[in-house]
Amino acid sequence: MSPPDANPEFPPRTASYEADPAEVSRVLLLYSGGLDTSVMLKWIQDVYDAEVVCLTVNLGQPGEDYEVIREKALRLGALDCHVVDAREEFAREYLARAIRANALYGGGYPLFTALGRPLIAKLAVEHARASGCDTIAHGCTGKGNDQVRIEATVSTLAPELRVIAPVRSWQMGREEEIAYARTHGIPIKASHGAEAGPPYSIDDNLWGRSSEGRWIEDLSHAPDEDVFQLVTPPERAPDEPETIEIEFERGIPVALDGRRLELVELLEAVAELGARHGVGIVDHIEDRIVGLKVRDIYEVPAAAILLPAHQELEHLVCTIHQNQFKPQLDRQWAYLVYAGLWWEPLRTDLDAYMDAVNAHVTGTIAVKLYKGHARVVTRSSPHAVYDSELASFSQSGGLFSQTASPGFIELFSLQSRMAWRLRQGS
C-alpha cells in the first residue's frame, strides 16, 4: 500500500542513481522522435519543471530524417537537440568485436540492440556533461533489457548523473499517451493514431531490426508478411542464386567481391545483398535478463552472412583445441553484452582473447545466397591449418604416418575401454 500522499508520477526510488524530483533541473533526453519520447519531452518540462536537451543517435537505422526529428524536438520546447552520427564508432568498437566473438545470444540473436545501447548511453553521458545536465532520461519500459543496458552504463560511467525512466512510472497507456499528445500539440503520425491500433515495437540499426508486440506475442501465430520491412520473404526472393566473396583481415571483413570498403559501407552492402535473397529472418524465443520470456522477429541479413563466414574462417585457421574452447568464451561474451554489462572487465578480458585468436583470421570466404539461405561454398587463408596433400585419402607420408594410427587409437581409447569393461562387469 502506498502512503496516501504518494505521487504516482514519482514512485519511491529504489536505486541510488534514480533522480530525486526536487533536484532535477536540466535533463538530457534520449530522443527518437517517436510517440513515447515526444510525449516525454513535454511531460518532463511540465512535471519536473525542468529544461530538456535532446540527443538523437544515428546507428544506421534506415529511413530516418534527422532534420525533421531535430525540428520536432525544438518545437516541443527542447533547449537543443544534438544529432550524432555514431555509425563509424558503432561499427569499429562494437560490431567488429561482435564479429570476432561470433556473437549470438540464445542461438539466434546477433545483439544489434544490445550492442547499440551502451554506445547510446555513453554518448548520453558525454552530452549531458557537456550541456550541464544533471539527469538522463530514456524511453525504455520496466519490462525490457534496454533499461538495464542504459542504466548500467550511465551509473558506471557517470556516478554523478541521475536517471529518470518516465515510461516506468507515468502510468499512461497508449491511449492516454495519444490523448496527452493531442492536448499538448504533439504531432502524431497517422499510422500511430488510436484508430490504427498499436504498431509493432521496432528497434533497428546497421546490424539488424527487431519487431515485438501485436500477434508476435501469440506463439501459435506464424509471421504475417507485413512484419518484414527489411528482408524479402524467401518465397519471393530471386530464382537465381548469387555468390559473394568476403575478405577478412584479423577477423574483420574488409572487402566485398574484391572491393575494399570501410566497415559501415561493407555492412550496408552485405545487408542489402542478404535482404534481397531473403537471408536473415529469425523467429526467436528469448530469455530476457529481467526474467521474462518473449518472442522477437529479427531481420538480420548482414549478421546472417558475416557471422557464419567469420566462424568458418576461424575454424580453418585455428587448431582443434582452439576450436573446442572459443565457443564457450563466445557464449559468455554474448551473454555479458546481452545482459548490459558492456563495461564489465570480463568483457575486455574476453576481447583480449578474441583479438589473440583473430590475429590469424585473415582470408576469403565465398557465400552462396539463395532463397533465405546463406551457405559457405569456398574458403582460403594463408594461415589455414590445412594441407590438401595430407588430407587426401590417396597420399601417405610427410607429416602423417598411417602406420602410427593404430598405436594412437590404442592409447587414445585406453580409459574408455577400461571403463566400459568395468561397467559390463558390475
Residue 145 as a binder of ligand ARG (CB under 6 A): the answer is yes
Residue 210 as a binder of ligand ARG (CB under 6 A): the answer is yes
Q: Which one from 87, 97, 117, 149 is the annotated catalytic residue?
A: 117
**260 carries an active-site annotation:** no
Residue 147 as a binder of ligand ARG (CB under 6 A): the answer is no
Closest distance to ligand ARG from the beta carbon of 276 (Å): 24
Total binding residues toward ligand ARG, as defined by CB under 6 A: 11
Stretch that binds ligand ARG, among 48-56, 144-152, 370-378, 408-416 (CB under 6 A): 144-152
Nearest to 280 by CA among 377, 216, 367: 367
Closest distance to ligand ARG from the beta carbon of 243 (Å): 31
**283 carries an active-site annotation:** no
Specify whether the CB–CB gap between 256 and 270 falls below 8 A: yes
Q: Which one from 32, 70, 87, 146 is the annotated catalytic residue?
A: 146
Residue 205 as a binder of ligand ARG (CB under 6 A): the answer is no
**Contact characters 288-327, ligand ARG, x per CB under 6 A:** --------x-------------------------------
Residue 114 as a binder of ligand ARG (CB under 6 A): the answer is yes
Stretch that binds ligand ARG, among 138-146, 153-161, 222-230, 392-400 (CB under 6 A): 138-146
Distances (CA, A) of 280 to 21, 178, 333: 44, 34, 22
Closest distance to ligand ARG from the beta carbon of 339 (Å): 10
Closest distance to ligand ARG from the beta carbon of 424 (Å): 50
3-state secondary structure the chain: CCCCCCCCCCCCCCCCCECCHHHCCEEEEECCCCHHHHHHHHHHHHHHCCEEEEEEEECCCCCCCHHHHHHHHHHCCCCEEEEEECHHHHHHHHHHHHHHCCCCECCCECCHHHHHHHHHHHHHHHHHHHCCCCEEECCCCCCCCHHHHHHHHHHHHCCCCEEECHHHHCCCCHHHHHHHHHHCCCCCCHHHCHHHCCCCEEEEECCEEEEECHHHHCCCCCCCHHHCCCCCCHHHCCCCCEEEEEEEECCEEEEECCEECCHHHHHHHHHHHHHHCCCCEEEEEEECCCCCEEEEEEECHHHHHHHHHHHHHHHHHCCHHHHHHHHHHHHHHHHHHHCCCCCCHHHHHHHHHHHHHHCCCCEEEEEEEECCEEEEEEEECCCCCCCHHHHCCCCCECCECHHHHHHHHHHHCHHHHHHHHHHHHC
Q: Which of 42/138 has CB closer to ligand ARG?
A: 138
Q: Which of 201, 323, 364, 380 binds ligand ARG (CB under 6 A)?
A: 201
Nearest to 72 by CA among 149, 166, 181: 181
Q: Which of 18, 286, 299, 330 binds ligand ARG (CB under 6 A)?
A: 286
Q: What residues between 150 and 179 interact with ligand ARG by CB under 6 A?
A: none
Closest distance to ligand ARG from the beta carbon of 406 (Å): 52
Stretch that binds ligand ARG, among 80-88, 141-149, 299-307, 373-381 (CB under 6 A): 141-149
Closest distance to ligand ARG from the beta carbon of 142 (Å): 12
Closest distance to ligand ARG from the beta carbon of 238 (Å): 29
Specify whether the CB–CB gap between 31 and 186 falls below 8 A: no
Q: Which of 221/375 has CB closer to ligand ARG?
A: 221
Closest distance to ligand ARG from the beta carbon of 296 (Å): 5
Q: Which one from 131, 169, 201, 380 is the annotated catalytic residue?
A: 201
**36 carries an active-site annotation:** yes
Distances (CA, A) of 3 to 6, 12, 20, 229: 5, 10, 18, 47
**20 carries an active-site annotation:** no
| Residue tagged 570501410 (cell numbers) | 262
Q: Which of 50/57 has CB closer to ligand ARG?
A: 57
C-alpha to C-alpha distance for 241 and 177, rounded to whole angstroms? 47
**Contact characters 241-280, ligand ARG, x per CB under 6 A:** ----------------------------------------
Q: Which of 131/201 has CB closer to ligand ARG?
A: 201
Residue 212 as a binder of ligand ARG (CB under 6 A): the answer is yes
Specify whether the CB–CB gap between 326 and 318 falls below 8 A: yes
Q: Which of 18, 146, 247, 314 binds ligand ARG (CB under 6 A)?
A: 146
Residue 113 as a binder of ligand ARG (CB under 6 A): the answer is yes
Which residues are designated catalytic? 36, 117, 146, 201
Binding stretches for ligand ARG (CB under 6 A): 113-114, 144-146, 201, 203, 210, 212, 286, 296
